[in-house]
Amino acid sequence: MVISQVGASGVINHFDPAHPQPEVFGPTRQAVELLDGCILACRRSTLLEHQLRFDPQFRFHCYDTDFCRSARARSLRLGTWPLMVTHESAGNYDEGWEVAAASLAKKWGLLTGVTN
C-alpha cells in the first residue's frame, strides 16, 4: 500500500529492532484530516456534545479513519501533538482489512477497488 505523506505530521516508533529510530512523518502541532488509531485523544465533553462515537461496524480495521471522517463531518478539528509513541505492529493488511476498507468506501462514497 502506498500512503501519501504530503502534509503528514507526527512521529512513531514501530518497535523494530532493525530500525530503532522513530519514523518522522512531519512536524507536530499541525492540523490534519486523518489520525492513526494508535492513539486518539479528546475531551469526553466534545464527544458527547457532537454525538461522536465509533461506528461498531468497524471492529478493528478502519475504525480510526471512520472516526476521523465522522469528526470532520461534524466540523471538529484534528491535529497532532508532540508525543512519542511506540507501536508494536507495522500493520496488518489482510482480508479483514480489505473488507473493512470496502465498507469504509461504501459508507463515505469513496473510490472502490482499494488494494494494498
Residue-wise pLDDT for 15-44, tens only, equals: 778 878 888 889 999 999 999 998 999 999
Q: Which amino acid is at 11?
A: V
**Can you read off the three cell numbers belonging to residue 98?**
480489505
Quickly count: other Cβ atoms within 10 Å of residue 22's Cβ.
Answer: 14
Phi/psi of residue 4, each to 5°? -70, 135
Q: Which amino acid is at 97?
A: W
Q: What is the pLDDT of residue 16?
A: 78
Q: What is the pLDDT of residue 113?
A: 56
The whole-number average pLDDT for the span 78-97 is 84
**Integer Cα distance of 26 and 55 in angstroms:** 29
Domain residue limits, the chain: 11-108
Q: Is the pLDDT of residue 88 over 50?
A: yes
Instruction: Identify the three-state secondary structure at position 14.
Output: coil
Q: Residues 3-15: pLDDT tens digits? A: 446 678 998 888 7
